[in-house]
Amino acid sequence: MKKGVFILNRLQNKRGAIGADLYRTDSTERIPIPLSALSPLRMVKQEALEDMLQNKNRKFLNLTAVRDQYRITIINGRLYYKNFPLTTREDGRFKFIQDQSGDMFGVETVDDPDGIKHSSLLGSSWPISAGTIVATNGIVQVLSGSSGHFQPSVSHLAYTENYLRQNDVLVVQFLPFWTTENKSRRVKRDVPSYMKKYMS
């Protein structure tokens, strides 16, 4: 697999149910873009403040110390999670992040919807992509950019889509939510300072 290159789909704009711009990939035309053109995702400031308060009230679940237990691997073109082909239990409740090395981590939030957040999986580096996955027997039915914490752009989610496709994982539907218009709302600090301030 060529590292550092992803393919961006031509997208047809549609309106999402939650009020954000919703896109679906309808075209087969693809444009190669280097990974170096992407900046790591930044957390939205308001979400970071909420994490800080919830952590102090013992509501925020920090999984960074045991993040490897939540690793998603690819075996023979299927996503594996905790030694089994990934089958999610409820649409939109399996959250994932992907770091800049391509490693993916995820957690099912149906059992603890208030405590488990995308930032619960944040490790030693900012993610390059984040969102939710709906999967059946390791095949991705829906790859979504639904993350209020990181609000990944279409390009960031497209990197994950192509990473999966290059590893022979079928992605049936691709649903980004966020445009690049919200960049000014993101936290402009590095991971160690974020973790020290909000997750200690």
Query: Sign (positive/negative) of CA torsion 81, 85, 89, 96?
Result: positive
Structure token pair of residue 180:
């690049």
87 found inside a domain: yes
Please tell me the total count of domains within the chain: 1
Reference 121, options 156, 84, 96; nearest CA is: 96
pLDDT tens, the chain, 200 aa long: 444 444 333 333 332 333 233 334 433 444 556 677 788 888 888 888 888 888 777 788 888 889 999 999 999 999 999 999 999 998 778 999 999 888 999 999 887 877 888 999 988 778 999 999 999 999 999 999 999 889 898 888 989 998 998 899 999 998 888 765 555 567 776 777 777 777 76
Sheet holding 78-81: strands in order across? 84-85, 78-81, 71-75, 104-108, 94-98, 129-136, 139-144, 171-175
154 found inside a domain: yes
Q: Determine the structural domain holding residue 118 and report its residue range.
A: 30-198
173 found inside a domain: yes
104 found inside a domain: yes
- Alpha-carbon distance 83 to 30, whole Å? 33
- Alpha-carbon distance 46 to 119, whole Å? 13
